[in-house]
Amino acid sequence: MAQELAWSEAFAVGHAGLDEEHRALVAAINAIHRHDDARQPREQLEKLFADLQALVSKHIAHEDEVMRMIVANVNSHESAASVLHHHWLEHLDKHLDEHDRWVADLDAIVKRSLAQGGPAADELQHWFFSHAVKSDAPLKSLFQATRQQYPKLIAQLS
Ligand SMILES: [Fe+2]
Ligand SMILES: [Fe+2]
């Protein structure tokens, strides 16, 4: 079995609130990793999965809101900002779809794990990477570019 997940800056997108949530997801995955199905009650594993699913719902709702607020606040008419606005707009729909798939993937992992009797820690780590390292990677550069042109905006969107 893989080791517990250690926090890495590769999991950060450069937004304090969202990064705090990524940290909470890592902690929730590690708690599942530590669950010993042979010795601990099944209800405990169900509770740990439910906690993770709740954190995920909260996180994607927050991330979606931050992205929408940026699109709404980055001026599409100023020439310097319009490129940035276009990049956010172009990315938004794709990212929302990725979130839907990410939630569905977790539901499938949880179902399978509970049916087969095991915490599926390796699978959960890969599932987390597919979001924090892969899917959220474009957000990192978009946040950076947005902060350069709108220094106060990202800080306001906590
Ligand atoms: Fe995220
Ligand atoms: Fe995301």
CATH of the domain at 29: 1.20.120
- 86 CB contacts (<8 Å, ≥6 apart)? 76
Residue 84 lies in a domain: yes
DSSP for 29-42, written as a single string? HHHHHH--TTTS-H
4 assigned to some structural domain: no
Please, are residues 91 and 138 in contact by the beta-carbon 8 Å criterion? yes
Q: Which domain holds residue 52?
A: 13-156
pLDDT of 98 strictly over 90: yes
Number of domains in the chain: 1
- Cα angle vertex 12, ends 10, 34, to 5°? 75
| Res 80: pLDDT | 64
Ligand nearest to the CA of 132: 1
Cα dist. 61→3, 21, 64, 65 in Å? 29, 11, 5, 6
Instruction: Find the ligand nearest to 92 CA.
Output: 2
Query: Residue 116: inside a domain, yes or no?
Result: yes
How many angstroms does the Cα of residue 22 sit away from the middle of ligand 2? Answer: 10
User: How far apart are the C-alpha atoms of 107 and 96, rounded to whole Å?
Assistant: 17
Residue 126 has pLDDT above 90, yes or no: yes
Mean pLDDT estimate for the chain: 91
Average pLDDT for residues 142-148, to the nearest whole number? 90
108 domain-assigned: yes
2 occurs within a structural domain: no
- Ligand nearest to C-alpha 22: 1
Q: According to the model, what pLDDT value does residue 81 have?
A: 67
- pLDDT higher than 90, residue 118: no
Q: Is there a domain that residue 127 lies in? A: yes
- Ligand 1 centroid–CA 59 distance in Å is 7
CA of 99 to the centre of ligand 2 (A): 6
In the numeric block, which tokens belong to residue 25? 């997801």
Assigned domain for 8 exists:
no
